[in-house]
Amino acid sequence: MTTIVTGGAGFIGSNFIFYMLKKHPEERIICVDKLTYAGNLSTLASVMDNPNFRFVKADICDESAIDQLFVEEHPDVVVNFAAESHVDRSIKDPNIFLQTNIMGTANLMNVARKYGVQRFHQVSTDEVYGDLPLDRPDLFFTEETPIHTSSPYSSSKAAADLLVLAYHRTYGLPVTISRCSNNYGSYQFPEKLIPLMFIDATENRPLPVYGEGLNVRDWLYVEDHCQAIDLILQNGRVGEVYNIGGHNEMRNIDIVKIICQTLGKPESLIEHVTDRKGHDRRYAIDPTKIHNELGWLPETNFKDGIAETLKWYQDNQDWWQQIINGDYQKYYEKMYANR
């Protein structure tokens, strides 16, 4: 079995590669990543010499590079994590989001159709459902919730989802889609809430909370997301969407306070800054379908997961320092200059 994992030098993709190489050591994993600012090849250092792993630097929008890879590797499965993933960047500059998230997904599916695959899995997000009001804790996103996006990022992911479903209906491409809530864990790029606040607090800088900090996110430990995708690949029904989330809703301000407490930093570092434009209020996933059909339940509770995550950032200062000083972008040249 050969699986192409796109975006595997990013946060969730890298955790998925580690998960799969450990769980299914007999399977071959090919990571395709363009190494944008969010891709960090040094994250994959521990698996680079694994004979069942190959890294290919390529853009998912590059038809001939993806075609060539299919000719070389005859993949059985494609799991598409590659995306521009940061909402704030999409608000500043939407175009690259449309290019990678929509056109890149279409390009991958065109090649997958040409050669045939057993499964094309699209890693999507709960943000395609828009948001829920803060005063209706009884409401959750199900797979039937209408698509209703807020940001250029979520709109580009929703467009990709619709294309994926269209390729199934029109061409019979064997697809599945997962829509997950906010992930946290090791190797998350420090533009996202938890690593950003960890680093700022560590360095005694102000902690920029958007607005009042009352927006709610439904946090899931990244390994639980990886396990859910693995189950969908094994037993998920083709043509179906699966929501992934662990009923762990937290207000942003409370997350930031936990980080302050854990690091022994004063809450006076918290600074309320201008709110994000179009800021989604609350995300909350109803994971009944994946639980009932595939038996999935999250294994890591938030208390343990956040402690583990913050410890990881404390123990892996080199990893995030290299991002802050830009050295991580030289890693590819170092590793591949003579290959």
Q: By the criterion CB under 6 A, which residues form the site for ligand NAD?
A: 6-7, 9-13, 33-36, 38-39, 59-61, 81-85, 100, 104, 123, 125, 157, 180, 182-183, 189
Q: Examine the residue annotation and report whether 187 is marked as an active-site residue of this protein.
A: no
Chain centre to alpha carbon of residue 320: 18
**Minimum CB separation from ligand NAD for residue 228, in Å?**
11
* Of 19, 153, 187, 313, catalytic: 153
**Minimum CB separation from ligand DAU for residue 283, in Å?**
5
| Cα gap 3→76, rounded to integer Å | 6
Strand, helix or coil at 196? helix
Judged by beta carbon distances under 5 to 8 A according to partner kind, the member of ligand NAD, ligand DAU, none in contact with residue 87 is ligand DAU
Name which of 174, 2, 7, 9 is nearest 73 in CA terms: 2
- Sheet of strand 28-33, all strands in order from the earlier edge strand to the far edge: 53-57, 28-33, 2-6, 77-80, 119-125, 175-180, 241-244
Q: Examine the residue annotation and report whether 63 is marked as an active-site residue of this protein.
A: no
Interface of this chain with ligand DAU, residues 180 to 239, rule: CB under 6 A? 181-182, 192-193, 196, 208-210, 215, 217
Name which of 317, 244, 253 is nearest 285 in CA terms: 244
| Cα gap 9→282, rounded to integer Å | 29
Q: What's the distance, Cα to Cα, between the start and end of the chain in Å?
A: 26
Stretch 77-96: interaction string toward ligand DAU, x if CB under 6 A:
--------xxx---------
Amino acid 250 reads M
Judged by beta carbon distances under 5 to 8 A according to partner kind, the member of ligand NAD, ligand DAU, none in contact with residue 59 is ligand NAD
What 262-271 contacts at long range (C-beta under 8 Å, 24+ apart), as own/partner pairs, is 262/306, 262/307, 262/310, 263/198, 263/201, 263/202, 263/310, 265/201, 265/202, 265/204, 269/200, 269/201, 269/204, 269/205, 269/206, 269/207, 270/206, 270/207, 270/209, 270/213, 271/206, 271/207, 271/208, 271/209
C-beta of 178 vs 270, nearer to ligand NAD: 178
**Minimum CB separation from ligand NAD for residue 325, in Å?**
19
| Cα gap 279→88, rounded to integer Å | 10
> Using the rule CB under 6 A, which residue among 16, 70, 108, 127 binds ligand DAU?
127
C-beta of 272 vs 289, nearer to ligand NAD: 289
**Minimum CB separation from ligand DAU for residue 245, in Å?**
9
Q: Is 276 in the site for ligand DAU (CB under 6 A)?
A: yes
Q: Is 145 in the site for ligand DAU (CB under 6 A)?
A: no
* Of 59, 84, 127, 280, catalytic: 127
Judged by beta carbon distances under 5 to 8 A according to partner kind, the member of ligand DAU, ligand NAD, none in contact with residue 217 is ligand DAU
Judged by beta carbon distances under 5 to 8 A according to partner kind, the member of ligand DAU, ligand NAD, none in contact with residue 104 is ligand NAD
| Cα gap 178→140, rounded to integer Å | 16
Q: Examine the residue annotation and report whether 332 is marked as an active-site residue of this protein.
A: no
Enzyme catalytic residues: 126-127, 153
Q: Which residues bind ligand DAU (CB under 6 A)?
A: 85-87, 125-127, 181-182, 192-193, 196, 208-210, 215, 217, 252, 276, 283
